[in-house]
Amino acid sequence: MSTPKMELRELGNTGLKLSCVGFGASPLGNVFGPVPMEEAVGCVRRAVDLSINFFDTSPYYGNTLSEKILGKCLKALEVPRSEYIVSTKCGRYGDGFDFSAERVTRSVDESLERLQLDYVDILQCHDIEFGSLDQIVSETLPALVKLREAGKIRFIGITGLPLDVFTYVLDRVPPGTVDVVLSYCRYGINDTALDDLIPYLKGKGVGVISASPLAMGLLTEAGPPDWHPAAPELKAACRAAAAHCKSKGKNISKLSLQYSLSNKDISTVLVGMNSVKQVNDCAFGFSRISKMQTFVKHCPYDDQVEENITAAAELATEGIDDETLSEVEDILKPVKNQSWPSGIQRT
Ligand code: NAD
């Protein structure tokens, strides 16, 4: 199969050009189930080969495992540093939240060591709704500005599930403090709430990253992991939508990713990918037999990296399947924009 070229999109005022499909590395921290090392390398290699240039991780994913594995993979692949963009986060850890200036400053050095990098392109305050937003404004972001001036990070971001936390912070910091927001689960077929915020973000010159186009597994045939926080009726509606697509010989994940990608105001859509069909030779010295056993055991039929990149390429050439999209939208209408509580509940 010929390699589809990934569309690059500008990220706000950063000057960065991100592949429209970004590689979400939380699965490398075993967040959705165990991912053996050789499969992780295979996924990252496949992503690079198929022209994904954006990788997102966090010290929180797998309690630092995702950062360590992503660092090893990128090092092993020997891709020139200027050819990929890495985002990691601070403030959320396996043992809780800490957005203090001291902790986030130390956190960056720890992340750089695990990632085996001299700088990260984007550093994001991870899930700010769990912290004091006033602390984010008055202490955390000023600490990150110093790190940006020191060259350890190139750009600053904030992430979260509720959307009002972004406006709270952006209304209170000097222009140019925050370069990027990462919103998740708020721009997919079942939830498009992010769309209303985009004009405001554009007005502030802030780049938009949208993560979890498959709603953290809700919009997949396999369904979400046990820990998924959605209410039963939302899970049931997504299950019905996936079954409907399957009955027509269509794939809910492909449709969902294409839907998120169709919004060109979103610079990149981060998908979590943890399986790849072809595990190539890698620098970790695994024997071919062990690779084949892993292949047979963990990913006999699917290659999420290639599937997702092909979905993007097909969207560009053929457009989206409007008929199936409209049927799925009808199924999901009763749960449209239904989210779930996250963080400190503010009145
Ligand atoms: P997602 O919606 O991308 O879903 C991931 C799940 O879908 C995984 O189980 C994966 O195996 C499966 N999947 C991927 N491609 C598939 C395909 N083609 N067919 C079938 N199943 C497929 O959710 P996510 O992984 O939570 O989000 C993506 C990334 O976004 C994360 O890895 C992370 O980097 C980022 N993210 C950040 C935040 C935050 O900063 N607060 C929150 C959520 C996600």
Q: Which atom of ligand 1 is nearest to the CA of 27?
A: 32
Ligand 1 contact via 273 beta carbon (within 6 Å): yes
Whether the per-residue pLDDT at 282 is higher than 90: the answer is no
Q: Which of 32-41, 171-180, 236-245 has the lowest mean pLDDT?
A: 32-41
249-274 per-position pLDDT tens digit: 999 999 999 999 999 999 999 998 87
Share of the chain above pLDDT 70, in %: 90
Does 324 sit in the ligand 1 pocket, CB within 6 Å? no
Ligand 1 in reach of 307 Cβ (< 6 A): yes
pLDDT at residue 299 in the model = 34
Residue to substitute in 271, 299, 307 for testing ligand 1 pocket (most ligand atoms within 8 angstroms of CB):
271
Annotated active-site residue 61? The verdict is: yes
Give the mean pLDDT of 90-118.
98
The finding on whether 212 has its CB within 6 A of some atom of ligand 1 is yes
From 61, 270, 301, the mutation candidate for ligand 1 (largest count of ligand atoms within 8 A of CB) is 270
- Among 64-78, 92-106, 238-252, 286-300, the range scoring the smallest mean pLDDT is 286-300
Task: Find the 271 Cα to ligand 1 centroid distance in Å.
Answer: 4
* Ligand 1 atom with minimal separation from the 211 CA: 30
> Alpha-carbon distance 59 to 95, whole Å?
11
245 lines ligand 1 (CB under 6 A): no
C-beta separation of 238 from 192 below 8 A: no
Average per-residue pLDDT for the chain:
90
Q: Model confidence at 323, in pLDDT bands (50, 70, 90)?
A: very high
Q: 228-250, pLDDT tens digit by residue?
A: 999 999 999 999 999 999 999 99
Among 89-93, 201-205, 214-218, 283-287, whose mean pLDDT is lowest?
283-287
Which residue owns the Cα nearest ligand 1 atom 15? 304
Give the Cα separation of 273 and 25 in Å (integer).
7
Find residue 88's DSSP bridge partners: 123
For ligand 1, whether the C-beta of 218 sits within 6 Å is no
Q: What is the pLDDT of residue 188?
A: 98
Q: How much is the ipTM here?
A: 0.98
In this prediction, residue 156 has a pLDDT band, given cuts at 50, 70 and 90, of very high
Residue 281 predicted with pLDDT over 80 = no
Over residues 9-31, mean pLDDT: 93
What is the rounded CA–CA span in Å between residue 259 and residue 158? Answer: 24
Lowest mean pLDDT of 35-44, 78-87, 93-102, name the range: 35-44
What is the pLDDT averaged over residues 203-223?
97
Q: What is the pLDDT of residues 291-315, one digit of tens each?
A: 323 332 333 335 888 899 999 999 9
